[in-house]
Amino acid sequence: MFNRAMKFAAVMGLFCAATAQAATSDADLKAIEKQLNTLGDRITRLQDLTDVEIVQHAYGYYVDKAQWRSLADLFDDDATLEIGGKGVFLGKDRVFEYMNIGMGGGGPMGPKDGSLIDHQQFQCLPTIMEDGKTAKARCIAFVMSSGGWGHNYYEDTFVKEDGVWKFKKLHGPFNMYAGYRQGWLDSVTVNTFPEKFQPYPDLPPTVIYLTYPSYYVEPFHYPNPVTGKPMPAPSPKAGGLAFGK
Amino acid sequence: MKNPLRAVPVVLSLSLGIVFCSTSFAQSEAERLTALKARVAAMADETEYVEAITRIQRLGHAFGYYTDKGFFGEAADLFADNGTFQWGVDGVYKGKARIRELLTRHGGGSMKEAPGLPFGRLNLRMQLQPMVTVAADGRTAHARWREWGLLGEYKKAIFWGDATIEDSYIKENGVWKIAARQYYLNYEAPYQGGWAKLAPVTGNWQSAVAKEFPPDAPAPLQYKPFPAVFTAPYHYADGNLTAIQSQPPVDLPKRADDKLGKLEAQADAKQLQLARTHSVRAIENLQAMYGYYIDEGQWKKAAALFSRQGSYEFGQNGVYIGNASIERGLSLMGPQGLEEGQLNNYVMVQPIIHVSEDNRTAKARWRSDVQLSRAGTGGWGGGVYENEYVNDNGTWKFSNLHYYVTFWGDYDQGWGAKPIPVSPPSKDIPPDKPPTVVYQSLPKLQVVPYHYVNPVSKKPHAGE
């Protein structure tokens, strides 16, 4: 740090004492402009990481309070949604129906006294793709509801349109759902399925799996941050009853 | 508190230098060019610094996703070749191979049938609340984390896990890696009864894993877990505030209407954008730092994170104004440093941070899940913050912290069967002002006002 400060002092000294009137060349200006543009791209990526997380986190706060219209507004018009084993819903309107009918029972929107559905968004790991216009994020929802506990992942895709990041695909595979009294000792829900509740999906589930106490791992969208190696396949002998097909 | 050198003070110094020199005499083009080049170089340093924070957050989050699903070899690969892992008081394990086996044994995996977990095993270890300090040289860093574990075996035994992690990191060949992890286990508490029913630990409390799989070196620090009072050492105990600092606010200078002036103005705009992304990370760190102080009953240190005119409002307790008053307000949660058997975990998660266009102020929504214990009774809580922050000459501070209680609940019966009402203002330590918003907690529910419009549609929140 001191070295850098001294280097700075030297630069400033030189700068204030300078009397030379050498004209700046176009080449100099072009070089700086190029540096600024490269830096600008990196700074934009840093902002993108925050903006993608904001969309994911805003989603969680809207679920908490059954604000299904605001929630659906986070999605692109032709976005898709797939949660648990329920199948795929196509388009923003169907995202709204899944939430309003499937989660909210079709009643009035907004929080209902005595009905806690907190969906806390944890541990987001966003990646901005090379094109700067698409992003993926792995996140956790930790659910504390009137029914008990839930833990699921997200592997979501976002797009940036007119400078605004939004959901292109929300995919929320379950890890564990359990009641309060016994916790995950035995009162668990291994997954939902398409006809379990209304509304019914537009497409079948993209992956069939049972979650805890069975084993399922949603593929990681990113390679190992240190080795750069892609995710290895889980051992076929791990996990017991069900694997993704 | 001493004021350490910031990692990137050059940018400010240059701005001031330019003002100083330009008021002394007109700058030649060559001088302006030299100054601009130096400024761009400083911006490159600062960009790398903010990127480092995001990479380290990514490392920690990746670790959690690997251990959740039994990818213990991949988790160990996040360490440097000579990386170390200190597990509680068990001792220190050295090198990737040993770390892999350590994690496999604690997570209930298999060294042969890997990656993966056997049927019935739950090993969800959420990695939360990073407080990241990158060293001035940009080659090393430290972070404090919280691990919240959902652990155990189906139809056998299940546990809550709680640990504080202090990591050091190293950048090798352009890649950040974990150099040393100190994993301070606070408890693994049986689900029935929870943490509040844990008996004090006496004697050797090394884990069963350590007995079968001895460490390579003893733990440098011995301590007792909850319900004993223990504070994992802070890597910022020396008063280093780098993590909560960004650039001080500056007024954008007017630039000459020539080619170079256009570039100078472009650099000004990028510099401000960079400072604002830097501020987002500083505010994340500030909130995390505050959370760790609250956990440990460090009321004075927590109150020092507020600006002089700052205010603190918790639930229906009313508003406390100014550092001394805020410290009194915080002490409603217990004695300084807490007592044996008191748990005060406020997990700081789910930030939505907006820094003002001029980088002078910020607002953020956060959430806390709360794990409590008082006199052998456990409790759960949850709520939302809507906070305001001020950039105090480069150091971010709270100007207003407001925690809205969503629910309190008895541990044994849960918040559904036994919600606990939010408490009124204290008569013993009265607030400076009554609550700004009057509400009830669960079973009543309401929307905490958002400081932002919908981030995609840009519509205000109305009618739901």
- Say what the pLDDT of residue A237 is: 80
Measure B174 CA to nearest chain A CA, in Å: 10
Report the 10 Å Cβ neighbour count for A235: 17
Interval B399-433: pLDDT, tens: 999 999 999 999 999 999 999 999 999 999 999 99
Measure A172 CA to nearest chain B CA, in Å: 15
Establish how many alpha carbons lie within 13 A of residue A105's alpha carbon, considering only the half-sphere containing its beta carbon: 6
**In angstroms, rounded to a whole number, what is the distance separating the alpha carbons of residues B129 and B167?**
13
Considering only A62-76, B6-20, B31-45, B381-395, which range has the smallest mean pLDDT? B6-20
CB contact under 8 A, B14 and A8: yes
**In angstroms, rounded to a whole number, what is the distance separating the alpha carbons of residues B79 and B59?**
10
Mean pLDDT of B368-387: 97
Q: With residue B91 as reference, give the H or E element that holds it.
A: strand B91-94
- Say what the pLDDT of residue A240 is: 57
Q: What's the one-letter identity of residue A133?
A: K
Banded pLDDT at B9 (limits 50, 70, 90) = very low
CATH classification of the domain holding B340: 3.10.450.50
Question: Helices B29-68 & A26-64, crossing angle to 10 degrees?
Answer: 30
Q: Say if residue B8's pLDDT is above 90.
A: no
Q: A166 CB near a chain B CB, below 8 Å?
A: yes
Of all residues in chain B, the one with the smallest CA distance to A40 is B270
Banded pLDDT at A238 (limits 50, 70, 90) = confident
CA A244 to chain centre: 21
- Say what the pLDDT of residue B26 is: 64
Going by DSSP bridges, is the β-strand pair B79-87/B175-190 parallel, antiparallel, or unpaired? parallel
Measure A238 CA to nearest chain B CA, in Å: 5
- Say what the pLDDT of residue B102 is: 98
**Tokens (6 digits) for A33:** 């402009």
Banded pLDDT at A16 (limits 50, 70, 90) = very low
Contact B407, B378 (CB under 8 A): no
Residue ranges of B 329-358 with Cβ closer than 8 A to chain A = 349-353
Banded pLDDT at A241 (limits 50, 70, 90) = low
Number of A–B residue contacts, CB under 8 Å: 315
Contact B311, B321 (CB under 8 A): yes
Cα dist from B246 to A2, A39, B291, B358, whole Å? 19, 18, 20, 13
Q: Does some domain include residue B74?
A: no
Measure B201 CA to nearest chain A CA, in Å: 25
Banded pLDDT at A23 (limits 50, 70, 90) = low
Contact B176, B141 (CB under 8 A): yes
CB contact under 8 A, B117 and A215: yes
Of all residues in chain B, the one with the smallest CA distance to A212 is B120
User: Chain B partners of A141 at a C-beta cutoff of 8 Å?
Assistant: none
Mean pLDDT of B113-132: 96
Nearest one of B100, B361, B61, B136 to B213, comparing CA atoms: B100
The residue ranking higher by pLDDT, A169 or A241, is A169
User: Chain B partners of A19 at a C-beta cutoff of 8 Å?
Assistant: 28
Q: Does some domain include residue B303?
A: yes
What percent of chain A has a predicted confidence (pLDDT) above 90? 82
Buried b (16+ CB within 10 A) or exposed e, B51-87: bbbbbbbbbbbbbbbbbbbbbbbbbbbbbbeebbbbb
Q: Say if residue B7's pLDDT is above 50.
A: no
Q: Does some domain include residue B30?
A: no
CB contact under 8 A, B78 and A226: yes
**Tokens (6 digits) for B342:** 């008191």
Phi, psi (degrees; rounded to nearest 5) at B202:
-120, 145
User: Chain B partners of A46 at a C-beta cutoff of 8 Å?
Assistant: 47, 50-51, 54, 274, 277
Domain that holds residue B346: 245-419
- B17, B61, B457 member nearest A125 (Cβ): B61
DSSP per position, B204-268 = ----HHHHHS--SB--S-----TTS---PPPTTTT---GGGB-PPP-PPPP--SSHHHHHHHHHH
Tell me how many degrees the CA angle B357-B362-B367 measures, rounded to the nearest 5.
Answer: 140
Q: A30 CB near a chain B CB, below 8 Å?
A: no
**In angstroms, rounded to a whole number, what is the distance separating the alpha carbons of residues B367 and B350?**
6
Q: Does some domain include residue B390?
A: yes
CB contact under 8 A, A123 and B263: no
Domains and CATH numbers, chain A: 26-245 (3.10.450.50)
Q: B375 CB near a chain A CB, below 8 Å?
A: no
Nearest one of B256, B232, B249 to B36, comparing CA atoms: B256
User: Chain A partners of B134 at a C-beta cutoff of 8 Å?
Assistant: none
Banded pLDDT at A239 (limits 50, 70, 90) = confident
CB contact under 8 A, A61 and B350: yes
Q: Does some domain include residue B425?
A: no
Q: B61 CB near a chain A CB, below 8 Å?
A: yes
pTM exceeds 0.90 for this model: yes
Q: Does some domain include residue B299?
A: yes
Residue ranges of B 280-319 with Cβ closer than 8 A to chain A = 280
Measure A196 CA to nearest chain B CA, in Å: 24
Banded pLDDT at B220 (limits 50, 70, 90) = very high
Q: What is the count of structural domains for chain B?
A: 1
**In angstroms, rounded to a whole number, what is the distance separating the alpha carbons of residues A76 and B450?**
22
Mean pLDDT of A46-71: 98
**Tokens (6 digits) for B63:** 């670790």
Interval B430-464: pLDDT, tens: 999 999 999 999 999 999 999 999 999 999 997 67
The complex's ipTM works out to 0.94
User: Chain B partners of A116 at a C-beta cutoff of 8 Å?
Assistant: 406-407, 415-416, 442, 445
CA B451 to chain centre: 21
DSSP per position, B305-369 = TEEEEEEEEETTS-EEESHHHHHHHHGGG-STT--TT-EEEEEEEEEEEEE-TTSSEEEEEEEEE
Residue ranges of A 40-59 with Cβ closer than 8 A to chain B = 40, 42-44, 46-47, 49-51, 53-55, 57-58
**In angstroms, rounded to a whole number, what is the distance separating the alpha carbons of residues B61 and B146?**
11
Three-state secondary structure of chain A: CHHHHHHHHHHHHHHHHCCCCCCCCHHHHHHHHHHHHHHHHHHHHHHHHHHHHHHHHHHHHHHHCCCHHHHHCCEEEEEEEEECCCCEEECHHHHHHHHHHHHCCCCCCCCCCCCCEEEEEEEEEEEECCCCCEEEEEEEEEEEECCEEEEEEEEEEEEEECCEEEEEEEEECEEEEEECCCHHHCCECCCCCCCCCCCCCCECCCCCCCCCCCCCCCCCCCCCCCCCCCCCCCCCCCCCCCCCC
- Say what the pLDDT of residue B463 is: 64
Residue ranges of A 84-103 with Cβ closer than 8 A to chain B = none
Q: A232 CB near a chain B CB, below 8 Å?
A: yes
What percent of chain A has a predicted confidence (pLDDT) above 70? 88
Mean pLDDT of B7-16: 45
Measure B207 CA to nearest chain A CA, in Å: 22
Considering only A186-195, B193-202, B266-275, which range has the smallest mean pLDDT? A186-195
Considering only A113-117, A237-241, B46-50, B421-425, which range has the smallest mean pLDDT? A237-241
Q: Does some domain include residue B120?
A: no
Best mutation target among A34, A55, A118, A153 (most B Cβ atoms within 10 Å) is A118
- B71, B137, B464 member nearest A109 (Cβ): B464
Measure A95 CA to nearest chain B CA, in Å: 15
Q: Say if residue B19's pLDDT is above 90.
A: no
- A46, A118, A142 member nearest B406 (Cβ): A118
Measure A136 CA to nearest chain B CA, in Å: 13
Cβ burial of B361 (10 Å; 0-12, 13-18, 19+) is middle
Measure A130 CA to nearest chain B CA, in Å: 16
